[in-house]
Amino acid sequence: MFSVRIQEVPLPTTERDIDGLVAWFIETLCLVRKRGEATADLGRAGPVHRLLRDFLFAQPTSSWDAQMLADELALTPASLNHHLARLVESGLVGYTNEGKGWRRYYLRGGSLSNAIEFFTVQTQTIVRQRLALIEQLWTREPLRMALEVAESDTPLLTLGVVEARPIREESNSQLSQWMGDFGLLGERPGKEAHANSISVQLFEVLLSRGAPLSLDEAAELIDGPKARLGRILERFRTSGIVERVARIDRLSISLWTAMLAQHQRRGEDWMLKKGGFQRLLNTKQQSTLLDKMKKGKLKVGDVEQAMKSVKPTEQMLLLNLLGGRLPMGHRMVGERPEEAAKKVTERLDRVLRRMRRVGELVEQLDR
């Protein structure tokens, strides 16, 4: 069964170092967990690194039986089988049965570029097929805010790619298994793979919610600590199917909070000269807001009314000058499921293009 975890990694800084190129493949395909000596010195001493560098990449037209590889790599058969199974599941490595339980392993296609081509086709096909489930479950109504602010710190993509199969456990659902396969439940889902887990409930909310979901709102809707909900939402972001955006719909509340805080702390003169009132508001707006702040009667509705004629971009500037900040919220990327699928596949294609490039560099070094 095809199963791989793909992680977006910047291209290697050197094109002539085979160890750096091999390490890039290992990190991109998450073939080794990052711990201990496996990551020291690019993992040159690691069994997977040596298996790829000295055998599969160096001799792409050859094949090896497990016993010989175990002897060469000084591994127990069980340890070697674990690593080989991961490589076979990733689609880069194949094997032939030689009888009596013996297998010979080889790089698919007879070259690294061919193996990557096989990998690319399988990955794109499986992701396209599996994303169809989102279209079935998507009930989110398109809701555009007055001002859309793009993400400024998009995390690197981490995506699980597993071909469809029957639901494994009674406690799982089609959605929870899908989330586990895509990496939305982490490397070791455990109880999070249950149909009623916090992660699944949170994702179901995002599938049906138009406005971005703040952490406070998530805590109200789902019984769970904010810290845990925040980690789950950030994990969703790494899959590329969820984004974090500024809550422009909460702009009036943020302005109201910032105005009251700065008026109490620095006074009217500062707000006029340095707080942006004279720069961005007309005389009537200034006097209305300042008078109500003096009397301690300024409400959110007053701010909304005063800001009706002010462009959202200028309101954002005013908030910045007042030292305020907008709360952030999470939502499904795109207004429709087709857009979400397109954005995920575009980011995946970028990783696959890098794989082809690094594969070409490896083959150039072997010539």
* DSSP per-residue string spanning 30-97: T-S-S-GGGGGGGGTTSHHHHIIIIIITT-TT-EEEHHHHHHHHT--HHHHHHHHHHHHHHTSEEEEE
Stronger pLDDT, 296 or 100, i.e. the higher one: 296
pLDDT surpasses 60 at 330: yes
pLDDT surpasses 70 at 193: yes
Cα–Cα distance for residue pair 144/249, rounded to 1 Å: 10
So what's the pLDDT on residue 41? 62
Q: Which of 36-45, 178-187, 237-246, 324-333 has the lowest mean pLDDT?
A: 36-45
Cα–Cα distance for residue pair 238/318, rounded to 1 Å: 32
Predicted TM-score of the model (pTM): 0.85
pLDDT surpasses 60 at 147: no
Q: Kindly calculate the radius of gyration of the chain based on its CA atoms and give it in whole angstroms.
A: 27
Residues in the chain: 367
So what's the pLDDT on residue 186? 86
Return the axis-axis angle of helices 77-90 and 66-73, rounded to nearest 10°.
110
Q: Which of 165-169, 260-264, 316-320 has the lowest mean pLDDT?
A: 165-169
So what's the pLDDT on residue 39? 53
So what's the pLDDT on residue 46? 87
So what's the pLDDT on residue 161? 96
CA 127, chain centre distance (Å) = 15
Which structural domains are found in the chain, ordered by start? 3-127+350-366 (1.10.10.10), 139-247+328-335 (no CATH), 250-321 (no CATH)
One-letter amino acid at 331 equals: R
DSSP summary character for residue 110: G
296-331 residues labelled b (16+ CB within 10 A) or e (exposed): eebeeebbeebbeebeeeebbebbebbebebbbbbb
So what's the pLDDT on residue 144? 65
189 to each of 33, 89, 176, 227, 356, how far by Cα in Å?
16, 19, 10, 18, 31
Q: Which of 128-132, 163-167, 177-181, 237-241 has the lowest mean pLDDT?
A: 163-167
Mean pLDDT of 102-112: 92
Which residue carries 């698919």 as its tokens?
108
Return the axis-axis angle of helices 251-273 and 283-294, rounded to nearest 10°.
100
DSSP summary character for residue 108: G
As a whole number, the mean pLDDT across the chain is 89
Residue 163: closest CA among 189, 201, 129: 129
**240-259 confidence digits (pLDDT tens):** 999 998 888 889 999 999 99
Mean pLDDT of 312-330: 91
**Residue 38's pLDDT band (cuts 50, 70, 90):** very low
Mean pLDDT of 141-149: 64
**352-361 confidence digits (pLDDT tens):** 999 999 999 9
Mean pLDDT of 42-52: 84
Structure tokens at 248: 């422009």
pLDDT surpasses 70 at 37: no
